[in-house]
Amino acid sequence: MARTKNELELLEEGLRDFDRSLPMSLLKAREAVMREFLPSLRSHQLSPEQWRVIRALVQEDGLELAEISLRCFLLAPSLSRISQNLEKRNIVERKNVDSDQRRSKLFLTKEGRKLFETLAPESEQQYLEIANKFGEEKLDTLYELLSDLVNVLNKP
């Protein structure tokens, strides 16, 4: 799409402000990356968050909600809605924890596992393409910087 006059003017001036905004830069990078994954997720009516839950259960089936919440970086209210959605669609199944009636565990159904088997190779392929386009070395550096940033901000 053609750039507007104002956009060109900003580029010439060096794109003040938002160009040195860490939240915006991280957001735009994430959006660009997600654009690669979204089409195949959409083709199966899955949100990125739903897909994260499915992958967590493939890694370890029968996780409790609180544990899924930690691993998938989802707040409890979001996970509550997501698990209800996936239950309705017969992708996951909920079981009570005998020793504590407040807790419950999620298990992948056969259908959920089949969904994973279908999507995982596409997803892996897209990740490899990103890694190739960007470069493995730069990708390693990026992961390290992001991890450092989180550690620096969360520690003190």
Instruction: Summarize as ranges the residues that interact with its own copies (CB under 8 A).
Output: 4, 6-7, 10, 16-18, 20, 22-37, 48, 52, 55-56, 59-60, 63, 66-67, 70-73, 127, 130, 133-134, 138-139, 141-143, 145-150, 152-154, 156
CA distance 65 to 23: 29
Q: At what angle are helices 22-42 and 110-134 packed, to 10 degrees?
A: 130
Query: In the bound complex, what is the minimum distance in angstroms from residue 12's beta carbon to DNA?
Result: 22
C-beta closer to its own copies: residue 32 or 111? 32
Residue 150: contacted member of DNA, its own copies, none (CB under 5 to 8 Å, by partner type): its own copies
Which residues, including other chains, have CB under 8 Å from residue 126's CB and lie 6 or more apart?
Answer: 36, 37, 40
**Residue whose structure tokens are 């596409």:** 122
Sheet (strand 63-64) strand order: 63-64, 100-108, 92-97
Using the contact rule CB under 7 A, the part of the chain among 102-110, 119-127, 130-138, 146-154 near DNA is: 102-110
Q: Does 137 bind DNA (CB under 7 A)?
A: no
C-beta closer to its own copies: residue 88 or 100? 100
Q: Does 3 bind DNA (CB under 7 A)?
A: no
Phi, psi dihedrals of residue 136, rounded to the nearest 5°: -60, -40
